[in-house]
Structure 1
Amino acid sequence: MARYHIETYGCTSNRGESRHIEQALRDGGHHPADGPEEADVAILNTCTVVEKTERNMIRRAEELEKETADLIITGCMALAQGDEFRDAGIDAEVLHWDDVPNAAMNGECPTVTPDTQPILDGQVGILPIARGCMSNCSYCITKFATGRIDSPPVEENVEKARALVHAGAKEIRVTGQDTGVYGWDKGDRKLAELLDRICDIDGEFRVRVGMANPGGIHGIREELAEVFATNEKLYNFIHLPVQSGSDDVLEDMRRQHRVDKFLDIVEVFDETLEYWTLSTDFIVGFPTETDHDHAQSMALFREIRPEKVNITRFSKRPGTDAADMKGLGGTIKKERSKAMSELKMDIVGEAYEKMVGTRQEVLVVEEGVGDSVKCRDGAYRQIIVQNASEHGVEPGDFLEVEVTGHQTVYAFAEPV
């Protein structure tokens, strides 16, 4: 499990973004370090209001690069002037706020630890359904913390979900290091049953299923897709981290799937659901990844056209088998990450552009910047409603909206 250090500069909005990043990391079982020297990853949330501030950001980034194992730079300066950090020779990932938590976790599974309990954060209830996984990925350090899957009974998780609904949760996020293998340790795969039972709870709420590795989902893909199709409370959203489009790299990663199994799952969901979101992850620059392997990942990306993508540059974690492999140069990883990130923006932007002019039923999940709110539609795509107070819209509301525009990774809409 990772230890993180966050530094935030600038306005209240930036502080709010850092709070969301930290909440995501804590939900994954990660913990704050005493300082950057003690951290596995440092996160610098930057400001760019004046030139002096920019110089201070560059100087602090240079200091943090020396003080911590890995550095992620986000915030206003990162988004508006990201090349400034690269031109200064700073070895860091420059990312949008939304991409920071997954990058900080290095493409690993989120870690559910013994002190992780159901959490109600505003309208969102966090429901960890199990601890551990069935995988042995060569790059992942979290398995040392969590061990093999340990699944509580279905009824126990249903009662926790019911408690969250009674406490006011409008969105339940089913989480775990690998939700797809829930129940394997008891001799049966129980995820579909659990989701059915949660959706039977009285109340108006939505359920989002957290990350499920393709190796665990493949054997229940048809049953699970049918559960999504028959339960309106379930967001039509599934997070399947493929990590590479090359079977050779997947073997070196010791992933429990190959590309054909991943595609089998996508095909079943395509056939079963008319409107859904595929979320996936890619790790670029794994030590054994060749130019051909990278090209295969890019080709798979173009084929499946996922609506949400997390792209992580490989970095070594101490004690893992991959840490002993001879790594690729930083320039190669940066170039491959840049190419994939550019493709991501094209494909995700295309998906949101197709939404313009459509009407969607949404749940208002949380307040946004200024007088706006963040909503999720039936496929868990993010939709922003501006001038929320004028429309009388607030978190927890269900409403119908018409999509009026988009900004690559989210849409804008007006209440109908």
Structure 2
Amino acid sequence: MARYHIETYGCTANRGESRQIERLLRDGGHHPVDGPEEADVAILNTCTVVEKTERNMLTRAKELESETADLIVTGCMALAQGELFEGIDAEVLHWDAVPTAIRNGECPTTTPGTEPVLDGVVGILPIARGCMSDCSYCITKKATGKIDSPPVEENVEKARALVHAGAKELRITGQDTGVYGWDTGERKLHTLLERICDIDADFRVRVGMANPKGLHGIRDELASVFANNEKLYNFIHAPVQSGSNDVLGDMRRQHQVQEFVEVVETFDSALDHWTLSTDFIVGFPSETDADYRQSLALLREVRPEKINVTRFSKRPGTDAAQRKGLGGTIKKERSSEMVEEKMEIVGDAYRDMVGERHEVLVVEQGTGDSVKCYDEAYRQVIIKNATEHDIQPGEFVTVEITSAETVYCFGEPVSVCVSE
């Protein structure tokens, strides 16, 4: 697990984003330390309100660069003036990509005891603990072990309890949801999802991270369940990590590139409007320039609507940590190029939605008088002036998409459905 140090500057919104980052990091098994000197990674959440503030942010970034192993810069200045940090050995990220970057491609851990949690209208349901992988860079497996899958009925009852307690969105989580049931000799994720969707209530279900190997074996059954159940967000998170089979072998990933592509093609055939989320690790010790170019080519081929790009960093006690690294400059250059490509691809996906109508679920309050919502494909839609429209978390709203930013779009309400 990573030790982190976070510093936040600026407005209430920035402080709220830092709290979100910390919550996700703690859920992933990472823990805070007292200062950057003790941290594996430091996070600088920046402000850019005036020129003096900008100078202070650059000064603090340079100080943190020398005080900690890895530095991530996020917040307003990072997004609006990221080029100002180019002379600093730091990764510049949107705030919601920070937890994934720190995870370094590792599977997430689940909440202690894999018990469900209700957070506002969001119910978090860990369906299993552990995984079936042995990735050479991952330290999480040392904490969680092999997959341990409770029976389908047990998870269905937990889901039902969350829905009855007020959950409007169920987030199915685990180190690798795609291998749920493997320890019992039966692949059960599609069965579990179908049973959860049979619960008599109005809610949505998001499936958490599933490695491509686990998805590949049930891709037809799973795509059919998605196509036949409106309660399921049309969203999968399948981290490919590299477009090179040689690198995947050195990572000890269980899949090859073609298996990942076949999963994507299956969902493309079954669903019209859906979101592919995937992860790439750049700068793995054995990654050549040709390997990296294969990753870039794969990114351009499948064009995921959500992309997490992580620069490889060594985790103590892992096999990959014993290998000679590539050096910060190479990793930074590859990461910057891939992030630039990512922003264009993701931005195109949201811009293509402008003028369309979608039903969204209001999940939480946003900045100011806005609310954050998700459409059928789990794409983020912001509704402004929520008070004027009398819109609250937990409601379903039909919106017309009026404009788009890179990683979200804005919607104007057409009708509101208040769920019981």
TM over 0.5: yes
Candidates 348, 351, 370, aligned match of 2:349: 351
Tell me the CA shift for residue 61 of structure 1.
2.5
Find the residue that maps to 2:149 and give its secondary structure.
coil
Find the residue that maps to 1:192 and give its secondary structure.
helix
Aligned residues with identical type, % of pairs: 77
Could you tell me how far apart the structure 2 residues matched to 1:46 and 1:278 are?
A: 30
Could you tell me how far apart the structure 1 residues matched to 2:27 and 2:181 are?
A: 21
- 1:366 maps to which residue? 364
- Please tell me whether the aligned partners of residues 305 and 345 of structure 2 are also in contact (alpha carbons under 8 angstroms): yes
Amino acid of the structure 2 residue aligned with 1:191: L
Amino acid of the structure 1 residue aligned with 2:55: R
Find the residue that maps to 2:128 and give its secondary structure.
coil
Cα deviation digits, residues 306-340 of structure 1 (max 9, x gap): 11100011111111111111111211111111111
- Please tell me whether the aligned partners of residues 46 and 74 of structure 1 are also in contact (alpha carbons under 8 angstroms): yes
1:180 lines up with 2:210 in the alignment: no
Amino acid of the structure 1 residue aligned with 2:156: V
Amino acid of the structure 2 residue aligned with 1:162: R
- Please tell me whether the aligned partners of residues 72 and 90 of structure 2 are also in contact (alpha carbons under 8 angstroms): yes
- Please tell me whether the aligned partners of residues 246 and 296 of structure 1 are also in contact (alpha carbons under 8 angstroms): yes
- Please tell me whether the aligned partners of residues 113 and 146 of structure 1 are also in contact (alpha carbons under 8 angstroms): no
Give unmatched runs, 5+ long, in structure 1.
none
Aligned length: 414
- Please tell me whether the aligned partners of residues 30 and 111 of structure 1 are also in contact (alpha carbons under 8 angstroms): no
- 1:106 maps to which residue? 104
1:29 and 1:194, CA in 2 relative to 1: closer, same or farther beyond 3 A? farther
Cα deviation digits, residues 348-398 of structure 1 (max 9, x gap): 111111111111011011111111111101000111111111111121110
Tell me the CA shift for residue 34 of structure 1.
3.9
Could you tell me how far apart the structure 1 residues matched to 2:189 and 2:17 are?
A: 32
Candidates 279, 282, 294, aligned match of 2:280: 282
- 2:261 maps to which residue? 263
Tell me the CA shift for residue 60 of structure 1.
2.8
Find the residue that maps to 1:173 and give its secondary structure.
strand
Amino acid of the structure 2 residue aligned with 1:177: Q
- 1:297 maps to which residue? 295
- Please tell me whether the aligned partners of residues 364 and 395 of structure 1 are also in contact (alpha carbons under 8 angstroms): yes
- 1:24 maps to which residue? 24
Tell me the CA shift for residue 279 of structure 1.
0.6
Cα deviation digits, residues 105-160 of structure 1 (max 9, x gap): 11211112535532211111111111111001111111111111111121221121
- 1:75 maps to which residue? 75
State the 4+ residue runs in structure 1 displaced beyond 6 angstroms: none
- Please tell me whether the aligned partners of residues 124 and 173 of structure 2 are also in contact (alpha carbons under 8 angstroms): yes
TM-score for both structures, normalised by structure 2: 0.95
1:336-415 alignment, distance < 5 Å? 336-415=334-413
- Please tell me whether the aligned partners of residues 113 and 131 of structure 1 are also in contact (alpha carbons under 8 angstroms): no
Find the residue that maps to 1:203 and give its secondary structure.
coil
Cα deviation digits, residues 205-247 of structure 1 (max 9, x gap): 1000000000111111111111111111000000010011111
- Please tell me whether the aligned partners of residues 115 and 126 of structure 2 are also in contact (alpha carbons under 8 angstroms): yes
Could you tell me how far apart the structure 1 residues matched to 2:270 and 2:394 are?
A: 29
Find the residue that maps to 2:98 and give its secondary structure.
helix
1:55 lines up with 2:55 in the alignment: yes
- Please tell me whether the aligned partners of residues 244 and 295 of structure 2 are also in contact (alpha carbons under 8 angstroms): yes
Give unmatched runs, 5+ long, in structure 2.
415-420
Tell me the CA shift for residue 77 of structure 1.
1.9
1:144 lines up with 2:142 in the alignment: yes
Tell me the CA shift for residue 24 of structure 1.
1.8
- 1:210 maps to which residue? 208
Could you tell me how far apart the structure 1 residues matched to 2:198 and 2:33 are?
A: 41
Find the residue that maps to 2:412 and give its secondary structure.
strand
- 2:322 maps to which residue? 324
Could you tell me how far apart the structure 2 residues matched to 1:160 and 1:179 are?
A: 16
Find the residue that maps to 1:370 and give its secondary structure.
coil
- Please tell me whether the aligned partners of residues 125 and 170 of structure 1 are also in contact (alpha carbons under 8 angstroms): yes
Amino acid of the structure 2 residue aligned with 1:147: G
Could you tell me how far apart the structure 2 residues matched to 1:207 and 1:27 are?
A: 19
Tell me the CA shift for residue 81 of structure 1.
2.6
Amino acid of the structure 2 residue aligned with 1:142: T
Cα deviation digits, residues 37-75 of structure 1 (max 9, x gap): 333322111122233333332333333333333221111
- Please tell me whether the aligned partners of residues 149 and 184 of structure 1 are also in contact (alpha carbons under 8 angstroms): yes
- 1:86 maps to which residue? 86
- 2:418 maps to which residue? none
Q: Which moved more, 1:69-78 or 1:143-152?
A: 69-78
Could you tell me how far apart the structure 2 residues matched to 1:113 and 1:288 are?
A: 33
Amino acid of the structure 2 residue aligned with 1:280: T
Tell me the CA shift for residue 342 of structure 1.
1.2
Candidates 164, 167, 171, aligned match of 1:166: 164
TM-score for both structures, normalised by structure 1: 0.96
- 1:6 maps to which residue? 6
Could you tell me how far apart the structure 2 residues matched to 1:328 and 1:93 are?
A: 16
1:29 and 1:153, CA in 2 relative to 1: closer, same or farther beyond 3 A? farther
